Amino acid sequence: MNTIHHAAEQTQLKAVSPRDSSIGQILIAEGRITTADALRILKVQHDEGMRFGEAARKLGLLTDADIEFALARQFDYPYLAKGSSKVSAEVVAAYNPFSPQVEALRAIRSQLMLRWFQNGASHKALAVISASEKEGRSWVAANLAVVFSQLGARTLLVDADLRQPRQHQLFGVDNRIGLSALLTDRAGLDAALRIPDLRDLSLLPAGTLPPNPQEILARPGFARTLERIEALYDVILFDTPCGSRYADGQTVAVRAGGALMVTRRHVTRVGLVRAYGDMVRQAGGALVGSVLNER
């Protein structure tokens, strides 16, 4: 990736907000170089007419990954450094946004923006569903939530899998209070947790697992809760249980208005997918698209 030349680099480096910082200031703040290192880089940059990143690489002080990280911070494109967060490495969009996997997720994001989220004020929510287990619903939901937040959209990921929730594990947050408490009036909207360093992303975990998840999700309170949430966020993604075992995902898809079907190579059975898609449509939910997960 090409670095960007910054005119009038200052020899006195001070801490400022990332979007106002030079690459050197950002990398000093992150502990990737020292002030002395930055001054050495600036001297080579000035003497040889190089960009900051080129000079740093020539001196062996920074890698391409370091420069990409600084540019992402500078252009308000947040992602995480490995080992810096409780977020699981499975959330690849949070750690490696320049990988082919994440590029494919951004392509899905673009299609969803065109087909769903930009088609009216009522299209803010989308359920991520699949017919069977181990097809990657939670992985797709988590990573899509990250790439939407990186777009600058106020994004809420809701773990509506009240059977075997995973999002609290993927994002390293507590699961004591979440959707189940919100839908039974035992918690407020502040149960949604901001994910540190991913500024526009929040997570509403599943919370305590109830004995009657289908009944809780089918209550009118779900619609009222969703209406309140939609006033606060631009994009709301719901993780759901598998459709072949539970009706929960269908209920959530209808409440959200639309669904994204996840399938997986060598795992998904075509007949189950067709049947589940028909059930969602017949119940009044729109099937916005499908994703082939090759993980």
pLDDT in tens, 224-252: 999 999 999 999 999 999 999 999 999 99
* pTM: predicted TM-score of the whole model, two decimal places: 0.79
Cα separation of 133 and 197, whole Å? 31
Residue 75 predicted with pLDDT over 50? yes
Residues whose CB falls within 8 Å of the CB of residue 132, separated by 6 or more in sequence, listed in order = 242, 243, 244, 267, 268, 269, 272
Please provide residue 203's backbone torsions phi and psi, each rounded to the nearest 5 degrees.
-125, 130
The CA angle 200-24-84, to the nearest 5 degrees, is: 45
Residue 100 predicted with pLDDT over 70? yes
**What mean pLDDT do residues 255-281 have?**
95
User: Computed over its alpha carbons, how large is the radius of gyration of the chain?
Assistant: 22
| Band of pLDDT at residue 85, cut at 50, 70 and 90 | confident
Q: With pLDDT > 70 as the criterion, what percentage of the chain qualifies? A: 90
Residues whose CB falls within 8 Å of the CB of residue 70, separated by 6 or more in sequence, listed in order = 23, 26, 27, 30
| Band of pLDDT at residue 8, cut at 50, 70 and 90 | very low
Cα separation of 190 and 177, whole Å? 10
pLDDT tens-digit profile of 124-181? 999 999 999 999 999 999 999 999 999 989 999 999 999 999 999 999 999 999 999 9
Average pLDDT score, the chain: 88
| Of 220 and 22, more confident | 220
- Where helices occur in the chain by DSSP H, the ranges are 23-29, 35-48, 52-59, 64-74, 92-95, 100-112, 137-150, 167-171, 179-183, 213-218, 220-230, 248-256, 270-282
Which pLDDT score is estimated for 254? Answer: 96
> 146: phi > 0 → left, psi -120 to 50 → alpha, else beta; which?
alpha
Burial tier of 107 (Cβ tally within 10 Å: 0-12, 13-18, 19+): exposed
Which pLDDT score is estimated for 72? Answer: 66
| Of 20 and 292, more confident | 292
Which pLDDT score is estimated for 77? Answer: 66
pLDDT tens-digit profile of 11-27? 333 333 344 458 888 88
Which pLDDT score is estimated for 83? Answer: 78
The CA angle 281-287-292, to the nearest 5 degrees, is: 130
**What mean pLDDT do residues 176-204 have?**
94
Residues whose CB falls within 8 Å of the CB of residue 12, separated by 6 or more in sequence, listed in order = none
Question: Could you confirm whether domain 92-293 is CATH 3.40.50.300?
Answer: yes
- Which amino acid, 217? L
Which pLDDT score is estimated for 74? Answer: 66
Which pLDDT score is estimated for 7? Answer: 30
